[in-house]
Amino acid sequence: MDVIEAMMQMRAMRRLKPDPIPRDILESLVEHAVHAPSGSNAQGWRFVVVTDAEKRRQLGEIYRKAVDFYLLRINTKPEPHQTEDEWKRMIAAVRWQGDHAGEAPALIFPCLKGAGAMDWSNALAAKSVTASIYPAVQNLLLSCRAQGLGATLTTLHLMFEDEVKGILGIPASATTFAMIPVGYPLGKFGPTKRLPLDGVLGWDGWE
């Protein structure tokens, strides 16, 4: 699939079928992910791919708790660019994912080794380290789109990250940066709706 086409059509696909994904396809997602750049070419990442049914169920329960908190306390009104109807559709999709995340055939956790010891109050260090994992996450998401898989970058599990790390045996020295449910989509891909360029682009300065 053309990379530009993949970028223009890669939407958050929260509603997924429970159909299993072949192991070789899941491995290819990680193979594509790790061709991204990382700071000093350290390649300190590890991608934990969860297909075990019981572990997915436990992780799904944790994610449901996080979604409950998010919808009750954080995302309670539309963004300025959203209509009321658009916001309600988005909330319904988030709620569906919260109730069904554990049914996705694969949950992928991109991690960085050594990040668990970071001083996250140091804004410069925090911003720098994320540059070594999110390019790889974007590669993974683009690979999903190119192979007809639906996926979403979620971070709500971080509210209960210690519980997640306990289930998966992730050491304290490592940090997860996303939970990505992957599966064959129930919905349709298509062009995404975004703000026009004149609302996000500044030439030679902010304005």
H or E, element range at 107? strand 106-113
Q: How far apart are CA 197 and CA 105, in angstroms?
A: 37
**The pLDDT of residue 136:** 97
Contacts of 18 (CB under 8 A, 6+ apart): 103, 104, 105, 183
**The pLDDT of residue 193:** 85
Alpha helices (runs of H) in the chain, residue ranges in sequence order:
3-9, 23-33, 53-69, 84-100, 123-130, 134-146, 161-168
Q: How far apart are CA 154 and CA 14, in angstroms?
A: 10
Nearest by Cα to 140 from 101, 109, 175, 167:
109
**The pLDDT of residue 53:** 98
CA dihedral 107, 112, 117, 119 (to 10 degrees): -100
Consecutive 10-residue runs of the chain (207 residues): their mean pLDDT?
88 95 98 95 96 98 95 80 88 94 98 88 87 96 96 96 98 96 92 88 92
**The pLDDT of residue 155:** 96
**The pLDDT of residue 125:** 84
**The pLDDT of residue 117:** 81
User: Phi-psi category of 114—alpha, beta or left, where left has phi over 0 and alpha has psi -120 to 50?
Assistant: left
